Amino acid sequence: MRRIMVVGHGMAGSRFVQELRARDQGRRFEVTVFGAEPEAAYNRVLLSSVLAGSLTPAEIETVPSAWYAAEDVELRTGVEVGRIDRRRRRVLTTAGEHVGYDHLVLATGSRPWVPPVDGLVGDDGELDRDVVVFRTLADCRAMLSRLGRVRYAVVLGGGLLGLEAARGLAGRGVDVEVVHPADRLMERQLDLDSGRVLARTLRGLGVRVRLNAQAVRFTDGWGGGGRGVRLDDGTRLPADLVVVACGVRPNSALAAAAGLDVGRAVVVDETMTSVTDPAIHAIGECAQYDGQVYGLVQPAWEQAAVLADVLAGGPARYGGSAIVTRLKAAGVDLAAMGETDVDDFAADDGLEVLRFADPARGTYQKVVIRDDRVTGAIMLGGPETVGAVTQLFDRAAPVPADRRALIFPGVVDAGGAVDPADLPDDHTVCRCNGVTAGRVRAACEAGADTVADLAATTRATTGCGGCRSDVAALLSATRPTVEVPA
């Protein structure tokens, strides 16, 4: 029996174990999982919903701890691996144990990056009592525990996590200001105009945005004895709480100390195997494939499935992921994919850029087309066509002759912009998990009565949650006698 050890119990590690056991009905593998957090496996993507109060911690649990016992998997939560002994093929845990392996799977994820702002970190190396990062369920609980005494919050970072945290706090009645050093929010995904529309939308939802700004100090002595953040231009912002969301760094120190090839993360090949040691593998945010480190759940889950298949003797290979980024914040509907900061197409006959903006209504839609294929898009405030555009992007399928259909629903057939209930069976409804409309219908016909049932049987809605309305529509259409909650 081969021993497989998984270091990391996050979204990549827990999914890998599920995928492996699904291919290991004969129990050929002895599986042990080490998780630094004491929690059951949960969906980190939905932490902003917990912060906002629309979900509870129990509702974002993905793999109940009881599942591991039922599947004969040893789960060790609250235990970290401190060192890898590659020669003896064993690890040393923080509990002082040496545990052997035949295959070691690194799913250690990332750690938050804390910028060198005076006052964020004390002399003891720990975050100040009023400074939090937004990465784990414990971080989320820490913020929730402070809400009763927080009137003003400053969020450092205007990327995905920062905006989700800011919107969640604003929804709880906190006065929130986002401080971001770039000229636009989410500068990796958005162009300048869409960033401006997003900032305007957020202001309407109670989140102020300050761009091209750097925090230099978190200090006491505010008026009335409060605390605040001083910016590089001398501006002072009151802050009972500072949320640090300035990006992450892959957790690859364990691999580097073991002598593995580490670039930005652990360098792996198309089988998710370290290029240094065939017995060690990496998936998720701690893995680097073809120079790319993915920071989203969909690639992590795709990598987990590939590695599980490889270890089970299958032919799967990883060839990279096409990324669609979604902002999960109440009152904001945003998806961005592929190349988005493209505007000058005069010298490229094969390039088209479609754009429509209505800032007053929080709408900005942009579709980039090369040689009749969607290669990028920003869909802000336009949920009616985002599904069709995403499908065209995923499949590299030809766009409709009348390009207006990609932005304005109902103009002409957009090649997929139809009622969710009428989606073809091969249409991917849940992109995070690769679940098609046909698979959802089959689960409904097999007896699934609720969206929760469909989530349990197909995994649809368990990623970013953006497909929930489509899944509910399919359920309602397939089983019209079942009442689907709004």
Residue 415, pLDDT score = 47
Q: What is the dihedral of CA 310, 311, 313, 314, to 10 degrees?
A: -30
CATH topology of domain 324-478: Enolase-like; domain 1 (3.30.390)
Whether the per-residue pLDDT at 418 is higher than 70: the answer is: no
* CB atoms closer than 10 angstroms to residue 118: 11
Whether the per-residue pLDDT at 158 is higher than 90: the answer is: yes
Average pLDDT on 161-173 reads 94
Average pLDDT on 207-222 reads 91
Task: List every span in the chain annotated with CATH 3.30.390.30.
Answer: 324-478
Q: Tokens 């590695």 label which residue?
A: 307
Please name the CATH architecture into which domain 131-246 falls.
3-Layer(bba) Sandwich (3.50)
Residue 37, pLDDT score = 94
> What does the chain come to in residues?
486
Average pLDDT on 96-103 reads 96
Identify whether the C-beta of residue 465 lies closer than 8 Å to the C-beta of residue 298: no
CATH topology of domain 2-110+249-311: FAD/NAD(P)-binding domain (3.50.50)
Residue 462, pLDDT score = 83
Per residue, what are the HEC states of the chain? CEEEEEECCCHHHHHHHHHHHHCCCCCCEEEEEEECCCCCEECHHHHHHHHHCCCCHHHHEEECHHHHHHCCEEEEECCCEEEEECCCCEEEECCCCEEECCEEEECCCEEECCCCCECCECCCCCECCCEEECCCHHHHHHHHHHHHHCCEEEEECCCHHHHHHHHHHHHCCCEEEEECCCCCCCCCCCCHHHHHHHHHHHHHCCEEEECCCCEEEEECCCHHHCCEEEECCCCEEECCEEEECCCEEECCHHHHHCCCCECCCEEECCCCEECCCCCEEECHHHEEECCECCCCHHHHHHHHHHHHHHHCCCCCCCCCCCCEEEEEECCEEEEEEECCCCCCCCCCCCEEEEEEEEHHHCEEEEEEEECCEEEEEEEECCHHHHHHHHHHHHHCCECCCCHHHHCCCCCCCCCCCCCHHHCCCCCEEECCCCEEHHHHHHHHHCCCCCHHHHHHHHCCCCCCCCCHHHHHHHHHHHCCCCCCCC
Residue 254, pLDDT score = 97
Average pLDDT on 108-137 reads 94
Task: List every span in the chain annotated with CATH 3.50.50.60.
Answer: 2-110+249-311, 131-246
Residue 263, pLDDT score = 97
Of 174-183, 222-231, 251-260, 470-479, the range with the lowest mean pLDDT is 222-231
Whether the per-residue pLDDT at 250 is higher than 50: the answer is: yes
Whether the per-residue pLDDT at 375 is higher than 90: the answer is: yes
- Please state, for a pLDDT cut of 90, what percent of the chain lies above it: 66
Q: What is the pLDDT of residues 261-319, one digit of tens each?
A: 999 999 999 999 999 999 999 999 999 999 999 988 999 999 999 999 999 999 999 99
| Cα–Cα distance measured from residue 108 to residue 100, given in angstroms and rounded to the nearest whole number | 18
Q: What is the pLDDT of residues 200-213, one digit of tens each?
A: 999 999 999 999 99
Q: What is the pLDDT of residues 346-373, one digit of tens each?
A: 556 779 999 999 999 999 999 999 999 9
Whether the per-residue pLDDT at 29 is higher than 90: the answer is: yes
Specify whether the backbone of 450 is left (phi greater than 0), alpha (psi in -120 to 50) or beta.
Answer: beta
Of 481 and 415, the one with more pLDDT: 481
Identify whether the C-beta of residue 463 lies closer than 8 Å to the C-beta of residue 297: yes
Residue 416, pLDDT score = 44
Token representation of residue 50:
């917990």
Identify whether the C-beta of residue 140 lies closer than 8 Å to the C-beta of residue 147: no
Query: Whole-number mean pLDDT of the chain?
Result: 90
| Cα–Cα distance measured from residue 355 to residue 353, given in angstroms and rounded to the nearest whole number | 6
Whether the per-residue pLDDT at 220 is higher than 90: the answer is: no
Of 253 and 464, the one with more pLDDT: 253
Whether the per-residue pLDDT at 249 is higher than 70: the answer is: yes
Token representation of residue 343:
């505007």
Whether the per-residue pLDDT at 44 is higher than 60: the answer is: yes
Residue 420, pLDDT score = 67
Q: Tokens 């390039």 label which residue?
A: 351
Whether the per-residue pLDDT at 412 is higher than 70: the answer is: no
Whether the per-residue pLDDT at 344 is higher than 80: the answer is: no
Of 18-22, 211-215, 477-481, 482-486, the range with the lowest mean pLDDT is 482-486
Specify whether the backbone of 145 is left (phi greater than 0), alpha (psi in -120 to 50) or beta.
Answer: alpha
> What is the amino acid identity at position 202?
L
Average pLDDT on 400-428 reads 72
Residue 211, pLDDT score = 97
Q: Closest Cα to residue 475, out of 406, 429, 416, 410?
A: 429
Residue 417, pLDDT score = 46
Q: Closest Cα to residue 435, out of 411, 457, 413?
A: 457
Q: What is the pLDDT of residues 442-451, one digit of tens each?
A: 888 888 888 8
